[in-house]
Amino acid sequence: MTTEDDVETRRARALRIQRGQEGPAAIGALLADEDWRVRKQAAEAAAAHLADDMVRETLVLGLLQPDDVGLRNAAVEAFVRAEPSLAPVVGRALVGALDRATPTARKFVCAALVGAGREAIEPLARLADEDDVMTACAAVEALVSLARRGIARPAIGRLLGEALARPEPVVRLAALDGLGAAGVVIEADALRAALEDPVTSAAAIGVLGRARGTGVSELLLAALPREHTTVEAAIALVRHGDLDGEPTRGRTLAVLRTLPVGLRARLAMAARERGADDARAAARILLEAGPTEDGRDVLAAVVDLGVRAELDPGCRAALLAWGQEGVALLLELVRERMPDDVSAASWALEAAADLASLCPSSHGSAVAELARALLAHGEDVAAKAGARALAHFGTAEDATLLAAAAQAMGPSFESLAAESVAAIAERTGAAPPGIRRARRTSRPGLVAADGARLRRDLASDDPSARASALDALGHLDERETVELVAMALADEDEEVQIAALRALSRARGADARAEAARSARVLLEGASSPVRAEALHTLSLLGGFDRDDRSEVLLSHLADASPQVVIAALRALGVSAASGPDVEAALEHALAHDDPEVVKETLHVMARRPDGATRARIVASLAHPHWSVRTRAAELLGNEVQKDASARAALEARATVETDELVLRAIGAALASGGADA
C-alpha cells in the first residue's frame, strides 16, 4: 500500500466512526495521526461522539499532554465543534481537567471551553482573572470567540471591560482586539486608561468608535490630528456616526479640513490598503473634507478603493458633494490611468459622468470624448463604462457607435448598450438605431403593435430577434394582435415563449385580455418550469385566477415538483380571491416544503390573510431551521407588533434564544417598528 493510500484508509476510518459505522475505539490513534487530513477528520469524528465518556477523556488527555501539537490542536477542534446539547457535559469535562493542567495546558483548555457555550462563561471569567498572563489572554480570546457566536454579548462585554483594567498590556490588547472583533459595545469610560497608554491607544481608539457614553466624540476628535492615531480615529468617527448627524458634524469637518497633508496621505494609504470597511471609512473622511490642495491624490485613492470594493452610500454622497471640481479631477485621472489601468480609468469615468450629470457642468463634451475612447478600447469593463457615460452625454452619432459596439461585443454588453441608446434618444429626440439582439428595456407603449412588422420579425431565424420583437411591444389592444403574439407561444425557443407571455400580460380591453388569458393557460401544462412559472404570472396579471373555478389550477401548481413553479403559484394565489379549506391545506403543505424560498413565499401569502391560525404559523416559523425563513418571519411579525401583543411577545421570546446575527437584527428591527427597545 502506498503512503497516500494509507492516509486515505485512515481518513476513511475516521469518517466511518463519525457516521457511526464503526465504534470510536480507534479515535485516540487517529487524533494523533501524523497526517493533518486524518487528524482533521478524526476531530470531526470525535465531536460527533462527545457524549461518549471514553472519547471525552481521550480528548482531555490530548489537551493536557505536552508533546504532540497536532493531537492537542485536534482535541481543541473537537471540543469547539460540540453540539449545543452537549455543552454542559463538555463544560464539566474541561473544568475538571483544569485541576490536572499545567500552566501551558490551561491555555488549550481555555480554547476548548468555547465548545461549552454559555457554560464556559463562568470558568473563563475566573481564568481571565488568573495571575498567569498567558492563561488570562487565552481566556479572553475564548470569551471573544463566544461573543462572535452571539453568546451572551453583554455579559462578555462587561468581562472584557474588566480585563481592560489589568496591568499587563498584552491582556489589555487581547481585550481590545476582542471588543472590536466581537462587536461588543462598552462604555467609553472603560477605555480611558487604554487611551492614555501609548501601547494600547491605537487599538483603544478603534474600539471607541463603537462605544457608548458621553465624551466619545471629544476623544475621537482629539485623536484625529495626532500622527499615530489619525487613521484609527478617522475610522472610528465614521463608525460612531459622527459624520451622520449634528452636533459634532460641524466640528468634525472643521478638524478634517485643517489636517496636514501628511496625515491626509496616511488616510489615503488606509483607503488603498486596509480591509474594505476601514478603507471606506478612511475614504469618507477624506471626501467629507471636500476638495483640498491634494484633492487629486484623494480621488486617486478613492478610485482605487472603488475598483477594489465599491463605495458605500456615505462615500458616494460625500463624493457627489465635490461637484464640478470633482468632475475635473476625475477626468484627469481617467487620462492618467488610460490605457494601462483600464479598470481604474473606467471607474473614474463613470464617477465623473454621474457627478457631471447632477451639476451644471462644462465637462459634458470631455466626458463624452473619453467615453468614446473607452468604448473603442475593446475591454468589457471599459466599453460598459463608456456606454454608461454616453447615456448622460452622448450624441445621436454616439447612439450609432453604441449599436455597432453591441453587435461586436455580444450579449453581455447588448442590454446596457440598448439602455444607453434609449437614454440618448430620449434626450436628443433622435430616432434610436435598433440593437437587433438586445432585450427590451423600453417602457410599455413605446412601440405600437404593427401586425405586418411583427409577422416579419417573428419569422426571423434568430430567437433573440424574435424575443426582442415581442419585448418591444407596448400594450396589446386588439384581439387579432393578441392572437398573433399567442402563436409565438409555440416557438421552440423558451426565451421567445417567455417573451410572448410577457407581451400577453400587457393586453388591454376585455376581449384582448380574455384571449390573452386563454392562450397563456395552454402553457400551464407540458412546458418547462420557467415557462410555466411565467404563465402563472401572466395569468395572475390578467385576472385569470379571479374566479373560484380557476383556483384548482393554482392548487395543482402549488404541489408542483419545481420550486420555481410553486413560488409563482403562491404569488398568484396571494393576489387572487381564492380561499377555502383546499387553499388552506395547500398553504400548509407549502409551509413544510424543503426549499426555504417556498416557505418564505408561503409566509408572505399567509401574512395577507390575517387570522389567528396563520399568525400562529408565522410565529412557529421563527424556529425554522433556515435562518432566512426566521428572518422573514420576524419581518412579517414586525408589521403586527403595533396592534398585536402576541406578535411582540413571540419576537421577544425568540430573541432570547436566537444566535444568528442577521435574524437577531431582523427581530430587533421588528420590535423597534412597534416602538419597543430592540
Partner 1 sequence: MTILLDGGPRMRRDEFRLLRDLVNQRSGMYFDDASFFVFERRLRERARALELGDFTSYYQYLRFHPRGPEELDEAIDALVTNETYFFREEYQLRAFADDVLPRLRAQAEAAYRRRLVIWSAGCSTGEEVYTLAILVLRSRLFEGWDVRVFGNDISRRVLGIARRAVYPRHSFRAMPPQYEEYFEPDAGGRRVADRVRALCQFGHFNLMERERAAILGRVDAIFCRNVLIYFDTESRRKVIESFYDRLQPGGFLMLGHSESLLHVSTAFELAHLATDMVYRRPLGTASLAPRPGDVGDARSGDGEGRR
Site for partner 1 in 576-615 (CB under 8 A): 597
- Which residues within the stretch 483-522 sit at the binding site for partner 1 (CB under 8 A)? 494
Question: Which of these ranges, 52-60, 114-122, 316-324, 581-589, lies near partner 1 under the rule CB under 8 A?
Answer: 316-324
Residues contacting 488, CB < 8 A, separation 6+: 458, 466, 470, 496, 497, 499, 500, 503
Distance from C-alpha of 103 to C-alpha of 324, rounded to nearest angstrom: 64
Contact mark string toward partner 1, 275..304, x via CB under 8 A:
xxx--x------------------------
In terms of CB distance, is 354 or 398 closer to partner 1? 354
Query: Considering only residues 192, 251, 296, 316, which one is a binding residue for partner 1 as defined by CB under 8 A?
Result: 316
637 contacts partner 1 (rule: CB under 8 A): no
Q: How far is the CB of 494 from partner 1 (least distance, A)?
A: 8
Is residue 319 within the footprint of partner 1 (CB under 8 A)? Answer: yes
**Locus of grid cell 483640498:** 292
In terms of CB distance, is 471 or 515 closer to partner 1?
Answer: 471
Q: How far is the CB of 547 from partner 1 (least distance, A)?
A: 28
Residue 637 contacts residue 670 (beta carbons within 8 Å): yes
Find the radius of gyration of the CA atoms of the chain: 32
Residue closer to partner 1, measured from CB, 242 or 354: 354
The amino acid sitting at 49 is H
DSSP 559: T
Q: CA angle 98-99-105, nearest 5°?
A: 45
Q: How near is the Cβ of 96 to partner 1 at its closest, in Å? A: 31
Does residue 535 bind partner 1 (CB under 8 A)?
Answer: no
Q: How many CB atoms lie within 10 A of CB 14?
A: 27
Q: Which is nearer to partner 1, 35 or 477 (CB)?
A: 35
Q: Is 639 in the site for partner 1 (CB under 8 A)?
A: no
Are the C-beta atoms of residues 663 and 627 closer than 8 Å to each other? yes
Give the phi and the psi of residue 79 in degrees, each rounded to 5: -65, -40
Name residue 447's beta-bridge partners. Answer: 473
**CA end-to-end span of the chain, whole Å?**
62
Which residue from 342, 338, 347 is spatially nearest to 316, judged by alpha carbons?
A: 347
Figure out which of the listed residues 311, 328, 454, 541 binds partner 1, where binding follows CB under 8 A.
311
Among candidate residues 112, 162, 103, 105, the one with its CA nearest the CA of residue 131: 103
* Whether the Cβ atoms of residue 476 and residue 506 lie closer than 8 Å to each other: yes
Amino acid found at 598: V
Of 227-235, 376-384, 548-556, 647-655, which segment contacts partner 1 by CB under 8 A? 376-384
Q: Which CB sits closer to partner 1, 101 or 298?
A: 298
Give the span between the Cα atoms of 315 and 638, in whole angstroms: 31
- Min separation Cβ 339 and partner 1, Å: 5
Q: For partner 1, which residue of 76, 351, 370, 486 counts as binding (CB under 8 A)?
A: 351
Contact flag: residue 324 with partner 1 (CB under 8 A): no
Nearest approach in angstroms of CB 2 to partner 1 is 5
Residue 3 as a binder of partner 1 (CB under 8 A): the answer is: yes
Residue whose CB is less far from partner 1, 135 or 442:
442
Contacts to partner 1 from residues 410-429, by CB under 8 A: 410, 412, 415-416
User: How many helices (H) and strands (E) would you count in the chain?
Assistant: 40, 0
Q: Which of 292, 395, 428, 562 binds partner 1 (CB under 8 A)?
A: 562
Size of site (CB under 8 A) for partner 1: 63
Q: Is 631 in the site for partner 1 (CB under 8 A)?
A: yes
The whole-angstrom separation of Cα 635 and Cα 669 is: 8
The DSSP secondary-structure symbol of 546 reads -
Contacts of 611 (CB under 8 A, 6+ apart): none
Single-letter amino acid, residue 344: A
| CA 414 to chain CA centroid, nearest Å | 27
SS3 49: coil
Among 342, 406, 489, 578, contact with partner 1 (rule: CB under 8 A)? 342
Binding segment toward partner 1, per CB under 8 A, in 2-10, 93-101, 427-435, 551-559: 2-10
Q: Is 340 in the site for partner 1 (CB under 8 A)?
A: yes
Q: Residue 164 or residue 533: which is nearer to partner 1 going by CB?
A: 533
Cis status, amide bond into 24, omega within 30 of 0:
no
Q: Alpha-carbon distance 497 to 467, whole Å?
A: 8
Q: Per CB under 8 A, does 440 bind partner 1?
A: yes
Q: Considering beta carbons, is residue 129 or 560 the nearer one to partner 1?
A: 560
Judged by CB under 8 A, the residue of 567, 569, 618, 637 near partner 1 is 567
Check if the beta carbon of residue 652 is closer than 8 Å to that of residue 671. yes
Under a CB-based contact definition with an 8 Å cutoff, are residues 148 and 126 in contact? no
- Nearer CB in complex with partner 1: 38/268: 38
| The one segment of 31-39, 199-207, 360-368, 462-470 that binds partner 1 by CB under 8 A | 31-39
CB of 129 to partner 1, least distance (A): 32
Q: For residue 227, what is the DSSP state? A: T
Q: Which residues bind partner 1 (CB under 8 A)?
A: 2-5, 35-37, 275-277, 280, 306-312, 316, 319-320, 339-343, 347, 350-351, 353-355, 357-358, 377-380, 384, 388, 410, 412, 415-416, 439-441, 494, 528-530, 562-564, 567, 597, 627-628, 631-632, 662, 665-666
